[in-house]
Structure 1
Amino acid sequence: MDRIFRTLLKAQQAAIAKIFDLRPGAEFFAAIEVAEQRNLPLVCGDRDVDETMHDLKEAFLKDWWSLLTSSSQVSMPQIMHADGIEQLRDREMIARLREELKDRGPNVLRVMLHERDELMAKHLLTCGGKRVLAVVGAAHLDGLETHWLEQEKQIPC
């Protein structure tokens, strides 16, 4: 089941990359290049991909019926046109998608965003007072900000 699930996700990512002429992971390769040029340490602040994939499969199994049967306010044709990729960078559109997923796939939302947002914020805060370049998906910005502020309050002065 894990292998099938991973294959389906990879196929979906490849299709989206082809439609929008994207190079998956390009932003990460750029960050690595800059870090190497400036002799800066690189820190992976996200969850282990295998752990995320395992939890995502479990979450999807819990949410699959709702994800397949409930209607969406944001349709794929809306997103899959020339300006669609730009919509996926727009915080308002992302907030709409996140709100919709909260109802349609709460377990998927928890695994894909909430748990990872919290972990990434913790990792960023452990970098201390140093300057940090963080490369994150646009869907993580609001959650990272929220968790950052919550965790920052807990740090003694």
Structure 2
Amino acid sequence: MCMKNIDRIKLKDRELILIGTAHISKKSIELVNETIKKEAPDVVGVELCQNRYNTLTDKKKWQNTKIIEIIKEGKAYLLLTNLILSIFQKKLGSKLDVLPGAEMIAAIKQAKKQNAKITMLDRDIQITLKRAWAKAKFREKAKIFYGLFEGLIITEEVDEKLIEEMKAKDMMTHMIDELGRQMPDAKKVLIDERDIYIANKILETKGKKIIAVVGAGHVAGIKKHLKKKQDIKCLEETPKKSKLLKTLNYAIPAIVIGLILAGFVFGKSIDVGISMLLYWFLINGCLTAFAVMFALPHPLTIISVFIAAPFTSLNPTIGAGIIGGYVEAKMRGPKVKDFENLNQLITVSGFWKNGISRILLIVVFANIGSSIATFIALPYLISLL
């Protein structure tokens, strides 16, 4: 048993055994199984939230989820980010014949064998991603996506030895420190907040002997926050849009509508207002349709975003991407089970071959194209007055 990845901590009259793992390591699975079997704990806690646990253990339910429901619920960006992370881990895991999260599933199975109570320690993944995205600056968001896509196209070989080196505490600490330097706001949500959350979940867990299975990168932070219980309700809240952003969401459409009305009322002739409407429709429709074409959609999807973009740009409650994604899903009708075919998604080009990921790209490209078109159209409208 590799003792250097195990920490024994006294919590008053209770004992906590903290196991730091690599998420795609065979040795981590062996370590988890051996430790739980030997220690016979009352409770086994795993670094999973209920949603991630359900996804890992009830794959049929996830596979049969219709992508159109995800688009309606506004989860396309979150799902795309989650997908890229999953592919990156599976790409590494495929080289080692280990699936991501295998050590967590191993911990759950071993706990069930020994009739130990099982508890989920992590915060809901949707809340974590929403908080990270909301708090990260634009530069940090760009770095995150660059890093994720870079991970998809890596060609260097990854072996068990490298994974074990990554799991070593000194290297993991260095990586986290680097993340904090490059992306401090994202690190706070992805690492620091979850350290606090997991530590407090452990403190709330009842049992004389507790085993907690967590990623090696969280061990140091969890140990630090085990010293004092904290209120974690604020960490479970999804961030609300800032007042400035809310104001802009309504102010920009109001400005556009005001300019067009001014064209009809104060223009030299009615032709000014008509010209402004024409500019608005053509610039918005053409640029959004052009952006969507990069996702190689169904022809009706291109037509739908061309027609919808001039209207959705004036409506803060719906984006052109939702319309485009909805039409694409209706025309080709894929389900989330397409994600299981990861052979298509090991490379960046695979995103255009898979029906699900292509829909997500359509949503993203349409919204980006529509936003750019709005800011390009404004100077043209002003120039016509």
**SS of the residue 1:24 aligns to:** coil
1:58-96 deviation digits (Å, cap 9, x = unpaired): 355541355659xxxxxx899945521011110000111
Contact 2:136 2:185 in 1 (8 A): yes
CA distance in 2, matches of 1:35, 1:81: 29
Q: Which runs of 5+ in 1 are unaligned?
A: 70-75, 153-157
Task: Establish whether residue 19 from structure 1 lines up as the match of residue 92 from structure 2.
Answer: no
Match of 2:180 in 1: 102
Task: Establish whether residue 64 from structure 1 lines up as the match of residue 141 from structure 2.
Answer: yes
Task: Establish whether residue 35 from structure 1 lines up as the match of residue 111 from structure 2.
Answer: yes
CA distance in 1, matches of 2:134, 2:220: 25
Match of 1:118 in 2: 196
Which of 82, 106, 110 pairs up with 1:6?
A: 82
**Residues 124 and 39 of structure 1: is their aligned pair in 2 closer, same or farther, counting only changes over 3 Å?**
same
How far the C-alpha of 1:41 sits from its partner, in A, is 1.4
Match of 1:92 in 2: 170
**SS of the residue 2:89 aligns to:** helix
Contact 2:137 2:185 in 1 (8 A): no
Match of 1:49 in 2: 125
Tell me how large the CA RMSD over aligned residues is: 2.7
CA distance in 1, matches of 2:93, 2:214: 17
Scaled by the length of structure 1, the TM-score of the pair is 0.78
- Percent sequence identity over matched residues? 26
CA distance in 2, matches of 1:30, 1:3: 25
Match of 1:146 in 2: 224
**Comparing 121-130 and 38-47, the one that deviates more:** 121-130
**Residues 59 and 19 of structure 1: is their aligned pair in 2 closer, same or farther, counting only changes over 3 Å?**
farther
**Residues 28 and 146 of structure 1: is their aligned pair in 2 closer, same or farther, counting only changes over 3 Å?**
same
Contact 2:196 2:221 in 1 (8 A): yes
CA distance in 2, matches of 1:18, 1:80: 10
Contact 1:117 1:143 in 2 (8 A): yes
Scaled by the length of structure 2, the TM-score of the pair is 0.34
Contact 1:79 1:85 in 2 (8 A): no
CA distance in 2, matches of 1:84, 1:148: 30
**Residues 98 and 129 of structure 1: is their aligned pair in 2 closer, same or farther, counting only changes over 3 Å?**
same
How far the C-alpha of 1:54 sits from its partner, in A, is 2.0
Contact 1:5 1:57 in 2 (8 A): no
Q: Match for 2:141: what amino acid?
A: W
Task: Establish whether residue 83 from structure 1 lines up as the match of residue 158 from structure 2.
Answer: no
Contact 1:121 1:147 in 2 (8 A): yes
CA distance in 2, matches of 1:142, 1:78: 29
CA distance in 2, matches of 1:79, 1:88: 14
Equivalent pairs, count: 146
Q: Match for 1:38: what amino acid?
A: Q
Whichever structure has more strand as a proportion of its residues is 2
**Residues 61 and 10 of structure 1: is their aligned pair in 2 closer, same or farther, counting only changes over 3 Å?**
farther
1:115-143 deviation digits (Å, cap 9, x = unpaired): 11101111111124521111100000000
CA distance in 1, matches of 2:100, 2:155: 21
* Greater Rg over alpha carbons, structure: 2
